[in-house]
Amino acid sequence: MIFQDRREAGRVLAAGVVAKLHDLTDAIVLGIPRGGVPVAFEVARELNLPLDIFIVRKLGVPGQEELAMGAIASGGIVVTNQSTIRELEISPEAFEVVAKREKLEIERREHVYRDGSPPITIKGQTVILIDDGLATGATMLAAVCALRPRARKVIAAVPVAAESTCTKLHREMDLTIFTTTPQPFFAVAMFYRDFVQTTDEEVRTLLLQARNRQELPMA
């Protein structure tokens, strides 16, 4: 399956969520910026659910930034990769320097994206966590670890994912919903005709539209 863009992928994904998740009581939708937000916006709109963001930043090994020694998520929650830390003998001080830097970046992005509005409170709710696609799934797994202590259930909903990643996520999530798991899988971009980078302004605009929709009185 090839999606026209992230918005179309979100509409298709929404149908899959409805088919698998019959109880939407106390459910909220969290999009992983930036690319996951347009997808999440459409799911939240189709299901009439609140929308917010959940930012995850990789903590790269100093000098080998592509190698993750952990991740930090919205709310300052840190997930560590202890095997990498031990193998490379990364000191607590070196880890803390990177964690503080990425925490500041999360706070900056949340300020820009939310435009001063407070985040949605997550306490005993069902969280539908959305990205535009999964290759390794590292970001999604870090988000799950961060959300697990606060949420009643954590559900991954993604338009396209590598089959091996789906298998890995099945063990960590309460429920996984994938529109398509194509083989072979080389990159998420292969399954979108339009995969232009989502901008900060687009994220901010979509969150504002979602908030305004939720504030409107029901007919």
CATH (domain of 146): 3.40.50.2020
Q: What is the pTM of this model?
A: 0.87
- Please indicate, yes or no, if residue 13 is contained in any of the structural domains: yes
CATH (domain of 103): 3.30.1310.20
- Please indicate, yes or no, if residue 86 is contained in any of the structural domains: yes
Per-residue pLDDT tens over the stretch 182-194: 988 989 999 999 9
Identify the helix (H) or strand (E) that includes residue 85: helix 82-87
- Please indicate, yes or no, if residue 217 is contained in any of the structural domains: no
Whether 82 and 190 map to the same domain: the answer is no
Whether 109 and 119 map to the same domain: the answer is no
- Please indicate, yes or no, if residue 215 is contained in any of the structural domains: no
Identify the helix (H) or strand (E) that includes residue 157: strand 153-160
Whether 151 and 175 map to the same domain: the answer is yes
Per-residue pLDDT tens over the stretch 94-108: 999 999 999 999 998
Whether 139 and 205 map to the same domain: the answer is yes
- Please indicate, yes or no, if residue 175 is contained in any of the structural domains: yes
| Number of separate domains in the chain | 2
Whether 130 and 145 map to the same domain: the answer is yes
Q: What is the DSSP string of 102-130?
A: HHHHHHHHHHHHHTTPPPPP-SS-EEEEE
Whether 132 and 188 map to the same domain: the answer is yes
Instruction: Round the average pLDDT of the chain to a whole number and report it.
Output: 91
Taking residues 108-121, what's their average pLDDT?
A: 87
Per-residue pLDDT tens over the stretch 5-59: 999 999 999 999 999 988 888 999 999 999 999 999 999 999 999 999 999 888 9
**pLDDT score of 177:** 95
Q: Quote the tokens at residue 182.
A: 């194509």
Of 211, 200, 6, 43, the residue nearest 113 (C-alpha): 200
Q: Quote the tokens at residue 140.
A: 């999604």
Domain span at residue 73 reads 57-114
| Contact between residue 125 and residue 27 where contact means Cβ atoms under 8 Å apart | yes
Q: Which residues contact 142 (CB under 8 A, 6 or more apart)?
A: 56, 58, 70, 71, 73, 79
